[in-house]
A and B are shown apart, each in its own frame.
Chain A
Amino acid sequence: MYEYYAKWIREGKLKVNSDWNKDLKIKFTVQDPCQIVRKSFGDPIADDLRYVVKSVVGEENFVDMTPNKSNNYCCGGGGGFLQSGFKEERLAYGKIKDMQIKATGADYCIAGCHNCHAQIHELSEHYGGHYPVVHLWTLICLSMGVLGENERTYLGEDLADIYPPNVYLNED
């Protein structure tokens, strides 16, 4: 999916911009989903993912994890772990991911897949980091000024009331 987001941004179809975050300077990091990056398309799609994220939150507001891309650590949400019943082990598995996220100093973690989102969200609560975990589609819509009121469940307080102008309204 990210390769299409990236393509549509490059083609000017998705008019994302990062102006909304110029003064806020909210920092974001991103989880590379193993399934999409390491297991399927490799670093090129991880680069597309970063291109999208940077276009949306601002280059200077993106902080990468270490290691990252194809060498990234799995968060522990994959392979059925979330449904397997081994909760304690799953949280132990995710400790390294939580530490990686905290080490970036980012305010938010962007998750590109449902399992990652659920797992990292739980890690954020369990290990006390309380960084919000957001879907990429939320931020893309936010940046274009089209994110609705009901679509903000995963945003933190700092972004809950941020409504940038709808960039498609002032066209022509």
Chain B
Amino acid sequence: MTDEAIKISGKKGSYFIDMVKTLLPEGGNLNLCLTCGACSSGCPATGLAGMDPRKFLRMAALGMDDEIKASKWPWMCTMCQRCIYVCPMKIDIPQLVFNARTLTPREDRPKGIRDSCDMALKVDTCSAMGCSVEDFEFVVGDVLEEIREADPFWEERDLQAPIDKEGAEFFVNQNSREPMTEPEEMAPLWKILNLAGVNWTYGSKAWTGENYCLFMADNESWKKIVTMQTEQTEKLRCKTYLNTE
């Protein structure tokens, strides 16, 4: 009991949940919890780091900001939103989690995510694996040539993997994993687009499908990447941004 009283008294100095409420429409419904537990019982992250979504929300409501800041659990919740889906009050726990990630100073956030975000910010392609414009153009051209040489069918169908084709209908994004580690896995999609008669293009810049800055909860940086993707799509006058994920 003593413990409990001390923790609740911390409420006076607590701003975290109030801060998050101001960011969300309807305050994310964060003060409507019925403590029914539907969220926790259907959350795959329940039990990790001694936490579950209901408990996390209760701790925030009780003003246990220090404990929330110290917990690694916000990095184990995938923000998959299943809890909102099953919650009778549609409480936005994932946004609470997203904002809890910002409580950790940038340099202390998980290195793997931070490195991927930083790398994407360094290259025009926004590739989290640091794939440059030149590398991308080379590897795409290389795979394409190989397929066309190996099978006259694709020569006949004029299989292409255009980069910066202006006025194409679709701007197609690409996860870095293929060009960097398994380039031949790009080809099936090209074949599908060719056979469906689709007018599409990659961009030399901002072709990346991934955005680790978002997972980092680095708002300025993830917005920068999305802006670059939008700009490249508009520059090429493509009608539709096609997410291949």
A146, B191: Cβ atoms closer than 8 Å:
yes
Beta-carbon contact of A146 and B78 below 8 Å: no
**Chain A residues near B49 (CB-CB < 8 A):** 89
**One of B17-25, B132-140, B177-185 contacting the partner:** B177-185
**A35 to chain B: closest residue by CB:** B245
Q: Is B76 an interface residue (CB 8 A)?
A: yes
Name the B residues within 8 Å of A39 (CB-CB).
80-81
B99 touches A (CB below 8 Å): no
Cβ of B187 and Cβ of A81 under 8 Å apart?
no
Q: Which residue of B lies closest to A118 (CB)?
A: B177
Q: Interface with A: B4-12, B63-71, B208-216, which one?
A: B208-216
A133 within 8 Å of B (CB atoms): no
- Bitwise, A123-163 to B at CB < 8 A (1) or not (0) is 00000000000010110110010111011010000000000
A59 nearest CB across to chain B (Å): 21
A interface size (C-beta, 8 A): 56
A1-B244, A38-B82, A76-B44 known; A84+B75 contact, CB < 8 A: yes
Inter-chain contacts of B187 with A (CB < 8 A): 148, 150-151
Known: A78-B78, A80-B75, A166-B153. A97 touches B192 (CB 8 A): no
Task: Report chain B residues within 8 Å CB of A83.
Answer: 110, 112-113, 116, 212, 215
- The count of A-to-B residue pairs whose CB atoms sit within 8 angstroms is 139
* A82, A94, A137, A148: the one within 8 Å of B147 (CB): A148
Contacts of A24 in B (CB 8 A): none
Does B15 touch A at the CB level, under 8 Å? no
Interface centre among A36, A95, A151 (most CB of B within 10 A): A151
Q: Which of A34, A89, A96, A137 contacts B189 (CB 8 A)?
A: A137
- Cβ of B245 and Cβ of A169 under 8 Å apart? no
In the assembled complex, the Cα of A110 lies from the Cα of B204 at a distance in Å of 30
B32 CB within 8 Å of chain A? no
CB pair B78 A114 closer than 8 Å = no
| Interface size class of chain B, counting residues whose CB lies under 8 Å from the partner chain | 35 or more
Please tell me if the beta carbons of B110 and A93 are within 8 angstroms of each other in the complex: no
Say whether B242 contacts A1, CB under 8 Å.
Answer: yes
Please tell me if B161 contacts chain A, counting CB pairs below 8 Å: no
Measured between beta carbons, the chain B residues less than 8 angstroms from A4 are: 242
Contact B245–A147 (Cβ < 8 Å) = no
Are B177's CB and A153's CB within 8 A? no
- CB neighbours of A63 from chain B (8 A): none
Contact B81 A38 (CB under 8 A): yes
B111 to A, closest residue via Cβ: A85
Q: Which of A1, A38, A84, A141 contacts B80 (CB 8 A)?
A: A38
Does B184 contact A151, Cβ atoms closer than 8 Å? yes
Give complex CA distance A135, B245 in Å. Answer: 10
CA of A65 to CA of B213 in the docked complex: distance in angstroms?
32
Check A84 against B110 for contact (C-beta < 8 Å).
Answer: yes
Chain A residues with Cβ below 8 Å from B86 are 71
Q: In the docked arrangement, what's the CA distance between A82 and B188, Å?
A: 25
Q: Which 4 A-B pairs have the closest CB atoms?
A: A80-B215, A74-B80, A83-B112, A79-B78
- Which B residues form the contact surface with A (CB < 8 A)? 42, 44-45, 47-49, 72, 75-82, 85-86, 110-113, 116, 147, 150-151, 153, 157, 175, 177, 182, 184-185, 187-189, 191-192, 195-198, 209-210, 212, 215-216, 242-245
Which A residues contact B (CB, under 8 angstroms)?
1, 4-5, 8, 13-15, 33-36, 38-39, 70-74, 76-86, 89-90, 92-97, 112-114, 118, 135, 137-138, 140-141, 144, 146-148, 150-151, 153, 166, 168-169
Q: Apart from A79-B77, A94-B44, what are 5 other A-B pairs with CB-CB below 8 Å?
A: A38-B82, A71-B85, A76-B44, A84-B75, A95-B44
